[in-house]
Structure 1
Amino acid sequence: MQLETVPVDDIAEEVDAAAQDREQLRQARALEARWRWESLLEDAPPAQLEEKPASIAPPAEQLREASQGVQARRGVIRFLYLVVDLAEAALRERRWELLVQQSSQFAERFVTENPLSELGLLALRDASCEALAPLGTAFTAAKLNAIAKEAKGRCCAVAALQRALQGLQDVPSYGVREVLILLASVATCNLQELAMEDLLPTLRLKNIRVSVVSLSPEIFVLKNLCVETGGRFDVALNKAHFEELLLRHLVAPKIDGKDVAPQMVRMGFPRQLEAEARKPEACCCHCQVQNSLYICPQCNGRSCGLPSRCKICDLPLVSASVLARAFRSVVPLAPFASVAMGLASRCKACHRFMDSLGARCGTCQQVFCQTCDSFIHQVLRQCPGCLERTPLDDQRNKSCLHCTRQGSV
């Protein structure tokens, strides 16, 4: 007896369903598909489905809310594997273009806003996982774009978790271990010798947090894995919503004493060598002649950029500006209060006349325009008026983040 196979798309669209079911499906599609997948599966009348979900706050708003209340502990040093689904399902509606574009932008912003963290890149296709970039501060967007054009096969999330587990099990204990999967498939297959449930105890033991941002409906086994490991499973409704969900993962996650134990981290502050003061030399990381090199204070190895790890002694190399930027990303600047301004008022930062609304800093009482207010909180992350009032010597005495002394800590 030969069984007739029905395509998955036909089942999802209910082509062979009753007339009443098809009418309910038309009503759900008429509401612009602006709800989460689980809300479409509820047995509720169409009138109750008209309620829209609450707007999702960007990471900047989340940091402002956290700064107004009790400060939560967050992981400053993160080790994150970014997994991009390039299976055959990514070719549907050219989703691979969105995945490649958003993953490239996310990687660049992640390294910028988390300078002490390291990022790795994995690609899922043909029921296997391919490592495109190891954990580090470099990102190969060109290689991801080239391999994305050959998207094929099925998605195997177990292979990605197994590869990420191998790379994260040897990272230092003071770092936060994370896996972020950008999913486009409606299903995932398991390996013959390993299943999803077999990896859950190991992920818990190693304190690896798994999160998924999906362009397709929820997959129960992956959502259960995210919940058990302390991550989150989000379903994107459109392109803008997908970008908002990715921005949430730029913020350092909340941690407790069970996940990461606080301890001293040994770092090196290298000395920079300019091209005019030396002969042409090659760096240890790429073996190429560079215009600017940094000397490791422990082994005198040459590195071409900061922050990085010395390829000889594996010492983290940072600078005072990198530490200050990492600190500001965890402890954000408090929001300014909106005030009504006159036509003769000037902005403290750009010195331009303001229209009718400005923002006043609660510490230095300086007033800024809306454009400078957005730039200060999203890019600069420190008030220019407060920096102008505080002498440089006082800043150095208050915090070691501004220390310019060379050596290792």
Structure 2
Amino acid sequence: MSGRKAKKDDDEYVDIDDATDTHENEDAQQGGYSWEEEYKRSWDVLQEDAEGRLSSVVAHLQQQMKRRRLLRDTATVQRGIIRHLFLVIDLSEAMNEKDLRPSRLELTLTYARQFVTEYFDQNPISQLGIIVIRDGVAERLTDLSGNPTDHLRALKNKRNQETSGEPSLQNALDMACASLVNVPSHGSREVLVVYGSLTTCDPGDIYDTIAQLKKEHVRVSFVGLAAEIQVCRTLCKETNGSYGVVLNEAHFKDLLFEAIPPPAVTQTRNTSNLVMMGFPTKSNDLHPSFCVCHSKLTVGGYICPRCSSKICELPTDCDVCGLTLVSSPHLARSYHHLFPVDNFIEVPWSGINSLHCFACQTAFDSSPPPGAGLESNSGRYSCPRCHNQFCVDCDIFVHEVLHNCPGCWAAGSNISTVQIHSKKQPAIQNDVMPMQGVTS
């Protein structure tokens, strides 16, 4: 069958179909056709063991995914445990894109609610505020507050989930800076922006805002949902923030939750060593009385140790005398960031010394599966200090919930850490508590 012909410049005819077949054959020989490159063949990644089973391979992949968030820098650095953070959410029309399932907006609001809960769980004496940007205007949903219920209620409100227009990054940063400028020197000033648009509609020069943020020591971090933007990269670089662009839904959550641990304190800012704090007593009166925070009649509450005013919840600042009011469990909960648990080490089959998990007493496999070498991972994770071995679930529980190694506490190997702490930080006396962490 004769193919189509085309005339070249030297009056010679060539067969177009034959030339096309030649290019297709070359593409096939180079590793596949061009239209096949967009598909990821995940089944090629799986590898069978010696008996043709996939269970061991899948279990190993699940363990790696679980421990991915645990592997972080555990060096002892100076951190501010009283944080003031504004969460800025983009509500422009770009958030209606469905490249993240079910959509950018729905996924962002879902992760934002989880972020608020986890933020106050890990930073109970910190404060958070929420700002949204749409139609070129910044709107403050919630002020800086230590009550997670108010923030969750604002995020669940249908009116606060409507998208329209273009975002204004400068207006949001100016609004956040105006609130953070009144934060005392012992508290950190942070802004976390979830940005889905590629443009910003600003009333002025945004680089003036960047200079102001840098002057006021406000740390700005970005989580981009579309692509990297130069002005956002410059803003994060100038303010010592972090900038990441999401790859998928799981990566989005990882980037967002990286802001939960308190960041290291910059050396350019003057920080306080001591701060006045009050530990109020809980009161349950027979007759209701007015609280100073909401001016409502309540039966229970907390009594300020300085001015004897009644407040509803902790932590907060007394509206009468301005004293920071916390409870001792909140303070202890925040202090674990200063002395993080060391990352556990994967134990090969050649280094096992226990048949049971030290924490939950779950039995380990006594011998490697067929086809696995002695240097492969045995499913055990060892503490580098006490050398006790744990399962992956206990490893996650120790680093995310307990924040103390049970083996170190049982052996008393953390006494040196307590002694170092007592030398570098004064103990809590009356209403005065040490403010910042220990510098390595």
TM-score, with length taken from structure 1 = 0.75
Aligned to 1:81: 86
**What is the distance in 1 between the residues matched to 2:272 and 2:95?**
41
Shift of 1:376: 1.2
Residues 1:90 and 2:95 are matched in the alignment: yes
Letter in 1 for 2:396: S
Aligned to 2:139: 130
Aligned to 2:22: none
> Counterpart of 2:305 in 1: which secondary structure?
coil
Residues 1:252 and 2:262 are matched in the alignment: yes
Aligned to 1:72: 77
Aligned to 2:209: 199
Task: Select 1:313's aligned residue among 321, 329, 342.
Answer: 321
Residues 1:300 and 2:316 are matched in the alignment: no
Residues 1:142 and 2:153 are matched in the alignment: yes
1:85–1:124 Cα contact (<8 Å) kept: yes
2:70–2:343 Cα contact (<8 Å) kept: no
**What is the distance in 1 between the residues matched to 2:163 and 2:152?**
16
Give unmatched runs, 5+ long, in structure 2.
1-26, 28-33, 41-64, 367-378, 434-440
Letter in 1 for 2:227: P
Q: Deviations over 1:5-54 (max 9, x none)?
A: xxxxxxxxxxxxxxxxxx9xx7798276xxxxxxxxxxxxxxxxxxxxxx
**What is the distance in 2 between the residues matched to 1:210 and 1:370?**
34
Q: Deviations over 1:247-294 (max 9, x none)?
A: 221122223320342421111111122x3x643445332344556422
**What is the distance in 1 between the residues matched to 2:113 and 2:191?**
16
Task: Select 2:197's aligned residue among 162, 176, 185.
Answer: 185
Letter in 1 for 2:306: Q
Cα separation, partners in 2 of 1:128 and 1:389, compared to 1, 3 Å: same
Aligned to 2:108: 99
1:80–1:178 Cα contact (<8 Å) kept: yes
1:87–1:152 Cα contact (<8 Å) kept: yes
Residues 6-405 of structure 1 mapped to structure 2, 5 A cutoff? 30=38, 60-63=70-73, 66-67=74-75, 71-93=76-98, 94-139=103-148, 140-145=151-156, 146-191=158-203, 194-273=204-283, 275=284, 278-288=286-296, 292-338=300-346, 345-356=355-366, 357-364=379-386, 366-388=388-410
Cα separation, partners in 2 of 1:283 and 1:359, compared to 1, 3 Å: farther
Shift of 1:362: 4.7
Cα separation, partners in 2 of 1:271 and 1:386, compared to 1, 3 Å: farther
Shift of 1:365: 5.3
> Counterpart of 1:294 in 2: which secondary structure?
strand
2:167–2:199 Cα contact (<8 Å) kept: yes
Give unmatched runs, 5+ long, in structure 1.
1-22, 33-54
Cα separation, partners in 2 of 1:360 and 1:236, compared to 1, 3 Å: closer
**What is the distance in 2 between the residues matched to 1:28 and 1:138?**
51
Shift of 1:179: 1.0
Shift of 1:92: 2.4
Q: Deviations over 1:177-206 (max 9, x none)?
A: 111110111211111xx2202212211110
Letter in 1 for 2:186: Y
**What is the distance in 1 between the residues matched to 2:176 and 2:385?**
44
Query: Percent of aligned positions with the same letter in both sequences?
Result: 33
> Counterpart of 1:133 in 2: which secondary structure?
strand
**What is the distance in 2 between the residues matched to 1:281 and 1:333?**
45
**What is the distance in 1 between the residues matched to 2:409 and 2:300?**
30
Cα separation, partners in 2 of 1:31 and 1:229, compared to 1, 3 Å: farther
Cα separation, partners in 2 of 1:329 and 1:218, compared to 1, 3 Å: same
Letter in 2 for 1:237: L
Letter in 1 for 2:118: R
